[in-house]
Structure 1
Amino acid sequence: MERAVTEGYGDGRAVCDTHALSDAVLVASELTTNAILHGGGVTDFRVDVVGPGVRLSVSDRSDELPAPAPPADPKGRRRVGGHGWSIICRLARDVSVACLPTGGKRISVLIPLS
């Protein structure tokens, strides 16, 4: 993903903020991890440099929509993990979830890079 972004900005005219690129890598990691852990596996992964940002799209086999996990279990103990969807929604813009005609879903996000 990093190579796709840096090559997309390789014309020398645009500057990619290194912190924003780190955010994009984190969002890509969270999207793919969620697809593997909760969505039955990644069925498609796309990276497109669009204007001053990068659009990531990850598809999986599950029809279940993503939702933030509660911060504690039913006994009131703090959970380890469960923060991925919140991280994605905080760092990304234009977050969309689309059901696929053959089953599963595609989550697309835009991360500003400047």
Structure 2
Amino acid sequence: MGPVRAGGCLPADVRGAVRRAVARRCMATGARCDKDGLADALLVASELTTNAILHGGGVTDVAVDVVERGVRVSVSDRSDRRPVTRPALDARGRRRSGGRGWPIVCRLSRDVSVTGLPSGGKRITAEVDVF
């Protein structure tokens, strides 16, 4: 099975592509989907897409592939900057808003990679166990 493309570049579009890819695998092979794993994959898809929109200059490409144990979500954007983890508290000890997406992606994914693209920008790929 080839990659499932998102119909657009919004988080809901990418979540839909994840759902379609998993459903296609389950129908074709009778594989049982772990509902918690699927929820994790949907959250990772949302976070990658949202981060590309907010911090990466916009989404340039999305691919969702079914792999042996789950789903691989790849989101490309225009920025060469790699994601960073910010402390939860600012210099005055106050809680920061935002900054939780990248740690969520790293925690829920079996594997995460960041690859620079030849034409500029980057691709972030995360694999989440679903089966």
| TM more than 0.5 | yes
After superposition, residues 40-59 of structure 1 pair within 5 angstroms as 40-59=57-76
1:9 aligned residue: 26
Question: Across the two proteins, how many residue pairs are aligned to each other?
Answer: 114
1:98 aligned residue: 115
After superposition, residues 1-114 of structure 1 pair within 5 angstroms as 1-114=18-131
Normalised TM-score (structure 1): 0.95
SS of the aligned residue for 2:44 comes to helix
Structure 1's unaligned 5+ residue stretches are none
The percentage of aligned residue pairs carrying the same residue is 61
Normalised TM-score (structure 2): 0.83
SS of the aligned residue for 2:105 comes to helix
Structure in which a larger fraction of residues adopt strand? 1
Task: Report deviation, 1:110.
Answer: 0.7
CA RMSD of aligned residues (A): 1.0
Structure 2's unaligned 5+ residue stretches are 1-17
Task: Report deviation, 1:11.
Answer: 2.2
C-alpha distance in structure 2 between counterparts of 1:6 and 1:79, whole Å: 38
Structure in which a larger fraction of residues adopt helix? 2
